[in-house]
Structure 1
């Protein structure tokens, strides 16, 4: 009996390796590695697939196969891409928050009279969260014989998803290559990063009402109204006037999902200035919208 799960797992990994090109698997492995997930790409895809299957089987017990398929896709995509993306986003946010303090720490060490490489090594003993781990990788590469500039460039490339980190590291690399006074450059860049983060924070605070409007309308009020409309149309079906209720419900549900996706992408643009940032909001609104729509369309209102 113990060999069955192992055989199933090995068959699944072989199937995924055959279906997905190696180049894509390598990119996906870098993606989950950046998220701090200690799985091979194939293994994590198998886990995500199994989570989707289990969720679909549970939904199939209570709803139709269409909803089971939707549950599978939502759980699989959420596990395979949503969760790693969320972890990467949180990690980047933590690193960006700590970056100014790390630069000020480096500047104070340089002013104490030590070299830049020694200051980097000293930085690895400080507590800057995920940023400290990145600097540890950089110091380890320098000790293996890589130049300081190349090690810092690798640091920037690893964290290219953050324009703040990438831009800051490239400025520092250029300053090292030109022989500029590093302590002054580090203080300047640290203050610049702090100002950028302040502007980002103000932007999120100023767009809070718009985001709440999208969430309430697309995740609650809209699905609730459409669910009640489908129920009213079902109650209006008589011998003389009949409506294809199942078809109408499917169309309305599709509209709820489409509205949720578009609203989520809109939130991403408003809040963070890019569509990709809205995918997490889209997923949240889709789940909210479907649950509210189903509840409203199945809840028996008095007299209907």
Structure 2
């Protein structure tokens, strides 16, 4: 009976392995870039109102920072730390090392997150910039064609709803106001913000300030290149997700079920192979952590310009 069961389980594994082995993206073709004319679907880049999203995020961050300060004020005290250590020892004596270890790991992770949250928040401060950049560059090109100077153009964009990009332009204008040269202020912004598209635009602006040229046309070309690159990267990202979903389905759904069935079948023959506490830890912490890790990996795969 159990021999047939394990044969069927092995057949399932072999079928899944053959599927992944034969799966490829050869039939999925990316559009070739046309050097003379770039055809971009305008619906794909309909301007989103990132300013409202940014305001909501700022409000949430302020609230979380208040809670974080309260947490660090009270939970870094000697009495609180002594209480947590005592709680760990009590759990270790009553429930064993597994439960006490889970408690200790959870406390340490909470402390690490609270201490490093400002760095994490600062890292994601410019998430909206790459999406806003093509529209801001086209806006600047239109202003320049209308006869405005560079500083007036930067001022117009800084008061528009371009999220963190408008904030950076405001900072550039303040630095220029207090005596810094336009080239230095723009180059420092390029170094401060990690964005390839913004760096290209800044170098073009600085080069035009030094040697002259048609800046409006150059900014339009850069905006079109950024939009086209974004479209290509989004298509590549969607293709990667198609394959990743299959792996996610196997690891997050099929693997826990198959392992549980095999453990139940084996326990009826040779007894408990794995203790109940270990099974509890696997299904309450280990597999959920894998799902969280895969979600973070998908987040890291998101295209950036």
- The TM-score bracket by the shorter chain reads 0.5 to 0.7
Question: How far off is 1:143 after superposition?
Answer: 0.9
Aligned to 1:185: 218
CA distance, structure 1, for counterparts of residue 176 and residue 231 of structure 2: 33
Q: Does 1:135 align with 2:169?
A: yes
Runs of 4+ in 1 over 3 A off after TM superposition: 35-40, 42-47, 53-57, 60-63, 72-89, 227-238, 246-273
CA distance, structure 2, for counterparts of residue 218 and residue 120 of structure 1: 50
Question: How far off is 1:147 after superposition?
Answer: 0.9
CA distance, structure 2, for counterparts of residue 222 and residue 72 of structure 1: 29
Q: Which shows bigger deviation, 168-177 or 201-210?
A: 168-177
Aligned to 2:130: 96
Q: Does 1:222 align with 2:255?
A: yes
Aligned to 2:231: 198
Residues 224 and 125 of structure 1: CA distance in aligned 2, closer, same or farther (over 3 Å):
same
CA distance, structure 1, for counterparts of residue 117 and residue 258 of structure 2: 29
CA distance, structure 2, for counterparts of residue 196 and residue 98 of structure 1: 14
**Could you list the per-position Cα deviations for residues 235-268 of structure 1 after superposition, in whole angstroms to 9, with x for gaps in the alignment?**
5454xxx535269649967975896688568646
Question: How far off is 1:107 after superposition?
Answer: 1.3
Q: How many residues align?
A: 230
Question: How far off is 1:141 after superposition?
Answer: 1.1
Aligned to 1:156: 190
Question: How far off is 1:46 after superposition?
Answer: 3.4
Question: How far off is 1:74 after superposition?
Answer: 4.5
What SS does the aligned partner of 2:128 have?
helix
Residues 266 and 118 of structure 1: CA distance in aligned 2, closer, same or farther (over 3 Å):
closer
* 1:124–1:132 CA contact under 8 A, matched in 2: yes
* 1:107–1:186 CA contact under 8 A, matched in 2: yes
CA distance, structure 1, for counterparts of residue 140 and residue 259 of structure 2: 58
Which fold has the larger relative contact order, with Cα–Cα distance below 8 Å and residues 6 or more apart in sequence? 2
Ranges in structure 2 where 5+ consecutive residues have no aligned partner: 1-56
* 1:214–1:263 CA contact under 8 A, matched in 2: no
Question: How far off is 1:77 after superposition?
Answer: 4.9
* 1:100–1:190 CA contact under 8 A, matched in 2: yes
Question: How far off is 1:84 after superposition?
Answer: 6.0
Residues 248 and 230 of structure 1: CA distance in aligned 2, closer, same or farther (over 3 Å):
farther
Aligned to 2:44: none
TM-score normalized by structure 1? 0.58
Q: For the pair shown, which has the larger CA radius of gyration, 1 or 2?
A: 2
* 2:187–2:202 CA contact under 8 A, matched in 1: yes
Q: Does 1:122 align with 2:153?
A: no
Question: 1:223-242 to 2 correspondence within 5 Å?
Answer: 223-238=256-271
Q: Does 1:209 align with 2:239?
A: no
CA distance, structure 2, for counterparts of residue 92 and residue 214 of structure 1: 31
* 2:190–2:202 CA contact under 8 A, matched in 1: yes
**Could you list the per-position Cα deviations for residues 203-247 of structure 1 after superposition, in whole angstroms to 9, with x for gaps in the alignment?**
222223123223322333223333444454445454xxx535269
Ranges in structure 1 where 5+ consecutive residues have no aligned partner: 1-34, 274-304
Aligned to 2:209: 176
Residues 228 and 261 of structure 1: CA distance in aligned 2, closer, same or farther (over 3 Å):
same
* 1:111–1:183 CA contact under 8 A, matched in 2: yes
Q: Does 1:109 align with 2:135?
A: no
Aligned to 1:69: 104
Question: How far off is 1:102 after superposition?
Answer: 0.9
